[in-house]
Structure 1
């Protein structure tokens, strides 16, 4: 490993590809001086506009799937307990990536050392204050100018593990040119006790919804997504031209939910995205209620503030609609619980009127059916309503807090 100016260590990725016509352009290491970096970025050609189709969406030029070069970027902050499993899942892919880069972001443990033992390239961040988004931008700023139409960039979390067919199917969809990015659907890893169980049920329901919509998802998950390199290049160009919010980088470092914001950016450029049933993975669950509350507050508030940044557009209208439904959900569950409390306190027992009785039955059926893939035990728990009601009320409380913080512009916290 060699030192990087400004702190950290790095092994320059092997961009040169033997026999590749682009190889001569890939000799420069990923770690360059700031003067050289500025020169490369400002002189990089801007991507050509992609053609539009009847549905108003744009496509990219199709390429051969077996000709695509896949670079995987794994931002990692003190992930020594997870990083080897993540890399192993990449090694087990039916279509292995061509290059794996672990971005050691302000690590104080053995993450970089363990990753290097796995035979991947390591890049250390330089004075990064912007968490995952900042770490990825430092690498992508150097990487994107030397990538071409046959390149794909996969970004995945250091606590995730891909199922074997993920990259093969993802590259297959990208190669058609119809989709600018392909994300995954995920299930939760074991652990976390009751709070972990609730999250695994929630993820199973989300995956079911995406399957029923044939891969149509609202967000390209940060757990694992593959992008056409030209897509990311256009995002940077659009930010530079102020057609999109944020500084001229791939990820907007001002926001709490960089993956959600990047999804909106890609959609506003007219591209299609997909989360197909074949691209699956597992990811870590939050082990405590406190950590889960912190995570979900960031997600929910960040999603709302992303919409404020983009305003009311044809792309954001469905997202605004979901925010409205969330607000209605808070009101409904408050009224539901209030009516139960009133029955117990003033009427001496639970006495639901026909309206709330119908709501209860519908809710119970939905809970049972939507968790069917998790097995009979989880279906039985869901049928009681009371057990999963704890988790639903918890999420609604976090959602209400997110609305309140966003409205009063409270300090953003990761």
Structure 2
């Protein structure tokens, strides 16, 4: 039991150190050269792009989303919105917007086909080689396309670029916690993974692709719960480069209820497990060795989640049945190791917020709330991982993943 407890302590500690060191290297190598909050530098060329917006029951937000897209600072672009079997007035609003926004084209699905199919159809209908994909409730920064195109034009081997999602709704504790999470967890991890070789996933809410790269891997798979994780792995296993661009900002809505947050994290966890299970055999190839750290990191996170379940179970049994001292867990309350993990977590949050002040000057006000993150979110993420892995293991291949509803949990 002592070995298991040591792993439970050292795994998050070591990973936090790796993320922080990787993010510092990323900052020193790339970010510090770009002055904060400045206009992007001119590009040698600005080819036309297609912006893809899959929608399902986005009537509340779609007008704001399309209106913001129309203000992109890019010489030539088209917007392709896919109404994926919406049961609200999304379709009617898109048809009305098509008369107001000359760049907009609308595709209607009679029935719910899923986000991956919507992206596939929009990509096939796109006139241009470079695709920018966002969600139907997302506000894209006016310069976001410019920042992502910088990478796609830099090298013909860049297949995808993921941007920097920011939280719009911050009125609740869950909203405030996710501001820090997207900065200190998601942002830091993407920076570190970019330095160490491979990125686990592009952000489905904001990403740019080279159409030729998508064609090479067969576009998005329609039977994966998280199409963004799946396409990221397939691109990189085919040796396409995937990059992170923190200047490519967008603003999204996140769950504000525990139920909404649970559904979101369960889908993320199941998607990661599905990808690991489907492509694990293909990783036993020396040419794909740069994917090994990403796969190992996720595998260890699975082991850690189940280990924590075992620790809690042993502690609970010990309350009713006397256990030998070598396997007993006397308490779940933090002791010296919990204090170290808590201080490391807060240091990670501090580092990420200092870096992210370049993009959001007042983000530091959320630091106070992050003291609750290790307790609330580690528990939720651990439970969703434990529940999601059997779901991924038992899922039949080929079953299409369709929209359930806009996954926000808004009140």
TM superposition score normalised by structure 1:
0.69
Q: Which moved more, 1:395-404 or 1:353-362?
A: 353-362
In structure 2, the residue matched to 1:400 is 386
Are residues 1:380 and 2:368 paired? Answer: yes
2:140 to 162, 175, 183: 162
After the TM superposition, list the runs of 4 or more consecutive aligned residues in structure 1 that deviate by more than 6 angstroms.
335-351, 410-413
Are residues 1:358 and 2:340 paired? Answer: yes
Cα displacement (A) at 1:261 = 0.9
In structure 2, the residue matched to 1:235 is 217
Are residues 1:124 and 2:112 paired? Answer: no
Q: Distance in 1 between matches of 2:271 and 2:330?
A: 43
Paired residue secondary structure (1:276)? strand
Are residues 1:208 and 2:183 paired? Answer: no
In structure 1, the residue matched to 2:116 is 133
Q: Distance in 2 between matches of 1:197 and 1:340?
A: 32
In structure 1, the residue matched to 2:15 is none
Give the helix-richer structure, 1 or 2.
2
Paired residue secondary structure (2:254)? coil
Q: 1:115-134 deviations in whole A, cap 9, x for unaligned? A: 33341434333344431112
In structure 2, the residue matched to 1:172 is 150
The two structures, once aligned, show a CA RMSD in angstroms of 3.4
Cα displacement (A) at 1:379 = 2.1
In structure 2, the residue matched to 1:318 is 293
Higher gyration radius (CA): 1
Cα displacement (A) at 1:68 = 1.3
In structure 2, the residue matched to 1:49 is none
Paired residue secondary structure (2:59)? coil
Cα displacement (A) at 1:163 = 1.7
In structure 2, the residue matched to 1:305 is 274
Paired residue secondary structure (2:109)? coil
Q: 1:285-318 deviations in whole A, cap 9, x for unaligned? A: 0132112211211111111111221124135423
Cα displacement (A) at 1:186 = 0.7
Q: Distance in 2 between matches of 1:229 and 1:191?
A: 35
Q: 1:18-53 deviations in whole A, cap 9, x for unaligned? A: xxxxxxxxxxxxxxxxxxxxxxxxxxxxxxxxxxxx
1:296 to 265, 271, 275: 265
Cα displacement (A) at 1:157 = 0.7
Q: Distance in 2 between matches of 1:110 and 1:132?
A: 18
- Residues 261 and 97 of structure 1, relative CA distance in 2, 3 Å threshold: farther
The question of whether the paired residues in 1 share the 8 Å contact of 2:73 and 2:146 is answered with yes
TM superposition score normalised by structure 2:
0.69
Cα displacement (A) at 1:276 = 1.3
Paired residue secondary structure (1:184)? strand
The question of whether the paired residues in 1 share the 8 Å contact of 2:131 and 2:210 is answered with yes
The question of whether the paired residues in 1 share the 8 Å contact of 2:177 and 2:369 is answered with no
2:79 to 82, 94, 100: 100
- Residues 142 and 351 of structure 1, relative CA distance in 2, 3 Å threshold: closer
- Residues 356 and 388 of structure 1, relative CA distance in 2, 3 Å threshold: closer
Are residues 1:87 and 2:66 paired? Answer: yes
The question of whether the paired residues in 2 share the 8 Å contact of 1:125 and 1:135 is answered with no
1:224 to 199, 203, 206: 206
Q: 1:239-295 deviations in whole A, cap 9, x for unaligned? A: xxxxxxxxxxx2111111111111112112211011112212111101321122112
- Residues 97 and 185 of structure 1, relative CA distance in 2, 3 Å threshold: farther
The question of whether the paired residues in 2 share the 8 Å contact of 1:343 and 1:350 is answered with no
In structure 1, the residue matched to 2:35 is none
- Once the two structures are superposed, the pairs formed by residues 262-273 of structure 1 within 5 Å of their partners are 262-273=231-242
- Once the two structures are superposed, the pairs formed by residues 319-338 of structure 1 within 5 Å of their partners are 319-330=294-305, 333=308
Q: Distance in 2 between matches of 1:70 and 1:204?
A: 28
In structure 2, the residue matched to 1:195 is 174
Q: Which moved more, 1:372-381 or 1:96-105?
A: 372-381
